[in-house]
Each structure stands twice: as C-alpha cells, then as structure tokens.
Amino acid sequence: MKKARGGILGAILILFSIIWLSPLYIVLVNSFKSRSEMYANVLALPEQLTWTYYTEAFAKMNFGTSFLNSLLLTLASIFLIVVLSSMAAWMLARTGGKLSYILFGVFIATMLIPFQTIMMPLMQVMSWIGKNTIFQMLNSRGGLIYMYIGFGASMAIFLYHGFVKTIPISIEEAATIDGGNKWNIFWRIVFPILKPTTVTVIILDVIWIWNDYLLPSLTLTSRDLRTIPLSTAKFFGQYQNEWNMAMAALAMTIIPVVLLYIFAQKYIIKGVAAGSVKG
C-alpha cells in the first residue's frame, strides 16, 4: 500500500514538474527554429541546430549594452537593499517598543499594496522631484535604483527581522562588554550570521529586478539606458512579431538567473523558512 501510494505521489510530482518546466522547453526549442517551422509545430524539436537567431537577436537588441545596464541596476539595487534593510531590521528587532512595532507593521503593510495602483502617482512625484531639485529621477539609473530600494526594502526587512529574532542577544551583549560599538557588533558578528537570509534576499531580488519590465518602461526613455526586458520587447511590433529571435533573447536572459538560483537554492529555502516561521 505504501509503495503504491509512493508511486502515485511520484507520478504526480513528475507530471507537475513537466508542466512547470514546459515554458522553458518551449523557449529553448523554438529559439533554434525559423518562423515557419515554429508556426508549424511549437512543441517539435528543430530540424537543424543553428545559432543564427541568437546572433541576430544579440545584435538587434544591443545585448551587450542592455546586459551591462541590467547588471549595474541589479547589483547596485541589491547591494543597497541588503545593507539598508539588514541594519533596519536589526534595529527594529533589538530596540523593541511601540514605535518599532509600528514601523515594522508599516513595512509589512506596504507589501500588500499592488504596484499598479501607485505607478502613475509615483511617476508624477518622480517627475516633480526632477523638475524642482537637482536629482534626476526619471530616465536615469540613479532614480530607478532609488525606486527599487523603496519597493524591495519591505520584503527584505521582513525576512531579516525574523532571522534576527533567532540570534541569541547574549552574543551581542558579550561583544558590548568587550568594548564593541553597535557598528562593529552588527557587521562583524550579526551580519555574518544572517548569511542564509542575505542569500535569499539576493536571489529573490535578482529574479525580480533582472526580469522587471514595467518599472523600467515607465522610467527609462533613452535607448542607451534600456535593460534586457526593454530590449527584448523590440521583437514585438504592431504588425509583426519575431517570435524565434524573441525566444533566443529570452534564453540568453534567463540563463544567468537560473544558474544563480541552482547554486543558491539551499540558502533560499533556509532563509525563507527562518524569516517567515520565526518572524
């Protein structure tokens, strides 16, 4: 009976895995096909393996510049999110009091607000800041990074806050007795312990920022500032969609994120569990 039940569960797991991975299969297979071959059968294997569409997509979407833009935005945003959110979560968890609980509740509440409900007021505010101050918020990498920090901080603080609660406060008290100040205690003692949550925040934000289309499309107008998702959209026009080259571009786009996720998935599971269960 147990073997039969295990076999059924295994078959169901395999079925769901196939369904889950089918979009990736479709992208990879059709990135090697011509449009006529693709329209004939989307699921069939290509008649011949050719890298023509990859080279054409690479040149047409200006992949090098787009890749560097996405990489710069992703690295800078994640670095600042990790630094600022970890410090904020540590202070909220250790300070206590009504103000800390209120601030933490505000951060959690902002996670429930859909971006679509605030995107137009946000663009108006960013435009006003650019016109009335020296800070250019629209059509600039700095402005986009600033917005990514604001939208990414809530989830990061939530995860860090839960993990900080699991760290014995006696460790920090011992360091204080030895003459350590708050800065040294956090960066030399607390932050290294937060490694699983840090990796979790990094992976989740890489997937989000690297693949984000909506916020850059609202913020960036210059061709030289386009990210990979914005450049990939060039293959979809009003009268013609170049699906095969779009598939090739998507394949080149997702490879770095997939590799990063594969190597760090154990930290993601550990960090999410610690942040959500014990927070």
Q: For the chain, what are the domain ranges?
A: 61-277
3-state secondary structure of 241: strand
DSSP state of 134: S
Q: Residue range 187-191: average pLDDT?
A: 91
Question: Per residue in 190-210, pLDDT tens?
Answer: 999 998 889 889 888 988 999
CB–CB of 111/158 below 8 Å?
Answer: yes
CATH architecture of the domain covering 61-277: Orthogonal Bundle (1.10)
Q: Are 93 and 165 in contact (CB under 8 A)?
A: yes
Q: Give the integer Cα–Cα distance in Å for 6 and 38.
A: 39
- Locate all alpha helices (DSSP H) within the chain, ordered by sequence: 2-30, 35-40, 52-60, 63-95, 97-110, 119-132, 141-164, 169-177, 182-185, 191-193, 195-211, 214-219, 228-232, 243-277
Residue 277 pLDDT > 50, yes or no? no
What's the start-to-end Cα distance of the chain, in Å? Answer: 39
Q: In this predicted structure, what is the pLDDT of residue 278?
A: 46
Residue 238 has pLDDT above 70, yes or no: no
Contacts of 86 (CB under 8 A, 6+ apart): 156, 160, 186, 191, 194, 198
Do the beta carbons of residue 58 and residue 223 sit within 8 Å?
no
Of residues 111 and 243, more confidently modeled: 111
Q: Is this prediction's pTM over 0.85?
A: no
Query: Which tokens in the block code for residue 81?
Result: 């999110």
The residue type found at 213 is Y
Mean pLDDT computed over every residue of the chain: 85
Under the banding of pLDDT at 50, 70 and 90, the label for residue 274 is low
CA distance 225 to 217: 11
